Amino acid sequence: MKADEWAKKIVGGDVRAASRLMRDIDDRMPWVPDVMKALYPHTGRAYIIGITGSPGVGKSTLVDCLIEHYRARDAKIGVVVIDPTSPFTGGAILGDRIRMQRHSTDSGVFIRSLATRGSMGGLSRSTSDILRVMDAMGKDVILLETVGVGQDEVDVVHTAHTSMIVMIPGLGDDIQAIKAGILEIGDIFVINKCERPGVERMEREIMMMLELGGHRDDGWEPAIVKTEAIKGVGVRELMETIVRHRTFRESPEKKRLFLRKALRIELLNNIRDRISQRVLEEVGQEEGLLSAVDEIIAGRKDLYSKSEEILNGILCE
């Protein structure tokens, strides 16, 4: 299929064409950039909400609540859920759809599970491209649920327009995570499972951390919302807070700043990705890479000279 025909199908609502492109993005098929070029003019409209936090805090259940809320207002929803790839086998079990069951046959909801495939930072390498495909499909809101390893999921802040951090009372490591820098990435802090003891203490601790952190560059004061997602408690306040943040960042100047940061990272990632692919072609894929490694181990070359040699091989063409 030609790139522009493919893009046209996706924009026209062909679900299968879209999901196949997402697969090809994930599998790094060589024709993907051409289709993305054709799709690009149809993107830039969707509002992206990031949901991050440790495993078991209820991210998927919250996503389910958000879907419900937006569908009641007839918004078209895309959902991207990311789970870890096993570093030992390369396989993954992607089970987040289970919590979103009631929306699985709603034609206004498109859910896609992704495996990290070795990428760090809570997202998969394919995330930004896949979000763009959903955008081109005409999704009004896209919910992006990260892996949930807790401490280093900072990538989401450059991808999502509103980032929420989900925590539960009684898990000491949440506050650890804030210390480690998650503070900067949360526009909204959600204390889920708020029927549990320790909510007030947790709220106080977050507030203290936020105060210690000083003012954010963009002037937004992060909000704290308490929810019990499984019963829908607090979801209305959460939605109102999301609307408030969305309105806050609506000014052309703020939007431009966000876009500039986001695209800078995406452009750099895209270049890096394509160079890596090109390098693998140059050395003869994984096998060639390993024989280069063996050369280094055998002491015939040092790592830096080998790296230069390979790079020169591409650059001199």
Partner 1 sequence: MAVKRRIRVLVAKPGLDGHDRGAKIIARGFRDAGFEVIYTGLHQSPEQIVEAAIQEDVDVIGMSSLAGAHNHLFREVLKLLAERGAADIPVFGGGIIPDEDIPKLKKEGIKEIFTPGTKVEDVVRWVEKTIHPRE
Residue ranges that bind partner 1, judged by CB under 8 A: 15-16, 19-20, 22-23, 26-30, 85-86, 89-95, 97-98, 101, 104-105, 110-113, 115, 117, 281, 285
Q: How many CB atoms lie within 10 A of CB 89?
A: 7
Q: Which of residues 45 and 102 has its CB atom nearest to partner 1 in the complex? A: 102
Q: Taking the complex as a whole, how short is the minimal distance between the CB of residue 223 and partner 1, in angstroms?
A: 32
Choose between 83 and 187: whose C-beta lies nearer to partner 1: 83
The answer to whether 77 and 139 are in contact (CB under 8 A) is yes
Contact 257, 218 (CB under 8 A): yes
Residue 241 CB partners (closer than 8 Å, separation 6+): 188, 223, 225
Q: How far is the CB of 122 from partner 1 (least distance, A)?
A: 18
- Residue number with CB closer to partner 1 (91 or 214): 91
- Distances in whole angstroms, Cα of residue 262 to Cα of each of 21, 139, 145, 161, 233: 22, 20, 18, 10, 33
- Minimum CB separation from partner 1 for residue 112, in Å? 6
* Distance of closest approach, residue 60 Cβ to partner 1, in angstroms: 12
Phi-psi region for residue 117, left (φ > 0), alpha (ψ -120 to 50) or beta? left
Q: Which residue has the tokens 């820098």?
A: 181
The least distance separating partner 1 from the CB of residue 22, rounded to whole angstroms, comes to 7
Nearer to partner 1, 86 or 176 (CB): 86
Q: Which CB sits closer to partner 1, 111 or 157?
A: 111
